[in-house]
Structure 1
């Protein structure tokens, strides 16, 4: 019964349901924009919604186990301030800075107010920061760039270019301990437990993570996996700093802003690396640029990637979307492509296509009617 009350308390917290609504709306907006620019949603299913719930379950279990094993204890005031900031940020636009920032702010407030006791050491705030950054890195590394839905932009030369936005979030439960007497004072019937001679209450705190980042010049999956790895390293560093701060308490005040700056720098480095190197995925004169590949279609089996340029189809040169599909009509059940990939190497690939429906080959190209 006590465990059920702890779980129920998590599902009653508004941050969770604001996050659910936000994830659903992100998917709706993505599909609506794709249909207007390419006449297809590219990915019909709400993968943002699926990633939300999978991450909630998986990250909730992993981070909660670590939190309980190290005995992370937080004051109820931290939870209240954090949830208020998390709810506000979910109403606005999530980015990498906001999830880390809203976790750092209440922690710094607690440290500055010297808010600790025999059951709440200030080192806990650094530990929690490291755990949340670790979870953020895992979330981005696993989900980022897995589904590349293009969006058309204009660069500084007013050329149309394809960008690949990642705009996802999740809310996962992190199990922490709250001083039992404080929790009982607020909610008299809330269950408490004896741990190492102290009465504590276990609380599943809804932790918000998310990122908004658009990749323009690299394969998105590589960019997000690298960014996720960097954040996981920063998260592990945070936990090591928490351990070191028991010997050097001054590290608590130093570690929190350092972790925030390192997280921001990881994002800045990822964006800068993408924009400073490589070519825009723009329209080309000779051939047609692939800006997306629909899953479960013939194109998905042809070793094609976003950014590749199709030079000819069925031995016919192509220069726009219309000429591409006209060439497909010559052999409506078979497709042979000559492609130059993003490494500037020419490859040949072929596949059978759906009889009488060449438009279902699954290649997403620039449309004449795009912005």
Structure 2
């Protein structure tokens, strides 16, 4: 019965469903933009939705097991406040932009509220309804923040740059360049303990666990992680891997700080503040490093720049990477999209390419292609 009720509460989690709708809308908008810019979608499947569903379940299971193992208890008022803020953030489009800001900000607001006179005025009448006013140390929330950063790092390593979907931008002088936006969100339903029996006092069938003289209620907490970042001058996968390493290292350091906060309570907000500053530093470092590279995904005169490679096409089997420049196709020089397809038509069943890498190295690659359908080779380039 208890497990069934928890499953129902997970399925009925509004933040998760709103997040799913947001990812569906994001994927649909991306596909429409790709079709408008390149004639057809680079990635026709809604991979954002697939990532959201599968990784939410996987990470939610992992985080819930760890949470139950350590007995993670979060304050009732913070659980309510964070859930509302997460829901509002997704609705107004800030869920992927400010996930860590939302988490740290909600903890700071909780601590301020807990020490303010407003707390006594609001909580006094709510206590009559069975609302628990027992405070919970911030150390648990610091450890929770460390866990979110670790999951953030693993998530980014798993999906960051894996689907390099280009978007065309115009520079000040009208020169066209390509950037690679990453705009995904994840809602991780994590099972935590809430002090008291506020829910069961109104819903008698809801499970309540007792540990000595303390009662706690198990509930799912919808943790947000997400990122909205565009890479202009690096291989997207490389850039996001570097960021994921920084987040994983930061998560481990904050975890150590959270454990310290258990014994030194005054250190909790300091550790959390340092964590947030370091997190912002990681994002700024990635942006700075990207903006200070000399390379651009831009049009070239001596060939055609590869902006993307569609999956399950002949090009996906070739030794071609995003950023490469195709200089020859079937022994014919190419300098535009039309000249590339004209060269492909010279041999309707086979494709032989001469390619220059961004570092200036030359390589040759070849593959069979779909007979009479050169446009389905799967190479995405600037439109003429």
Indicate the SS of the match to 2:197: helix
Distance 1:134 1:186, change over 3 A: farther
Q: Which position in structure 1 is the counterpart of 2:56? A: 56
Q: Which position in structure 2 is the counterpart of 1:175? A: 191
Indicate the SS of the match to 1:300: helix
Deviation at 1:64, TM superposition (A): 1.5
Deviation at 1:285, TM superposition (A): 0.6
In structure 1, what is the Cα distance between the partners aligned to 2:34 and 2:293?
26
**Mean Cα displacement is larger for which, 80-89 or 230-239?**
230-239
Q: Which position in structure 1 is the counterpart of 2:383? A: 367
Matches within 5 A, 1:189-338: 189-195=205-211, 198-338=214-354
**Mean Cα displacement is larger for which, 90-99 or 47-56?**
90-99
Moved over 6 A (4+): 115-119
In structure 1, stretches of 5+ residues that fail to align are none
In structure 1, what is the Cα distance between the partners aligned to 2:212 and 2:25?
45
In structure 2, what is the Cα distance between the partners aligned to 1:223 and 1:311?
26
Matched, 1:346 2:362: yes
Matched, 1:100 2:105: no
In structure 1, what is the Cα distance between the partners aligned to 2:94 and 2:348?
45
Deviation at 1:97, TM superposition (A): 5.3
Indicate the SS of the match to 1:250: helix
Indicate the SS of the match to 1:254: helix
Distance 1:187 1:74, change over 3 A: farther
Indicate the SS of the match to 1:348: strand
Distance 1:186 1:241, change over 3 A: farther
Distance 1:186 1:239, change over 3 A: farther
In structure 2, what is the Cα distance between the partners aligned to 1:67 and 1:294?
40
Deviations 1:83-135 (A, max 9, x none): 11111111233466511111112211222325998782221111111111222
Deviation at 1:25, TM superposition (A): 0.4
Paired residue for 1:164, among 180, 197, 212? 180
Deviation at 1:189, TM superposition (A): 3.1
In structure 1, what is the Cα distance between the partners aligned to 2:103 and 2:193?
17
**Mean Cα displacement is larger for which, 349-358 or 224-233?**
224-233
Matched, 1:358 2:357: no
In structure 1, what is the Cα distance between the partners aligned to 2:252 and 2:281?
16
Distance 1:347 1:146, change over 3 A: same
Q: CA RMSD in A?
A: 1.8
Distance 1:229 1:302, change over 3 A: same
Deviation at 1:138, TM superposition (A): 1.6
Instruction: Tell me if structure 2 keeps the 8 A contact 1:311–1:339.
Output: yes
Deviations 1:232-272 (A, max 9, x none): 22222222111111232221121122212211111111111
Matches within 5 A, 1:78-117: 78-94=78-94, 98-112=98-112, 113-114=114-115
Q: Which position in structure 1 is the counterpart of 2:73? A: 73
Q: Which position in structure 2 is the counterpart of 1:26? A: 26
Indicate the SS of the match to 1:147: coil
Instruction: Tell me if structure 2 keeps the 8 A contact 1:95–1:212.
Output: no
Deviation at 1:208, TM superposition (A): 1.8
Distance 1:318 1:246, change over 3 A: same
Deviations 1:22-53 (A, max 9, x none): 01001100000000000111111110000001
In structure 1, what is the Cα distance between the partners aligned to 2:265 and 2:135?
16
TM-score normalized by the length of structure 1? 0.95
Deviation at 1:231, TM superposition (A): 1.2
In structure 2, what is the Cα distance between the partners aligned to 1:97 and 1:24?
17
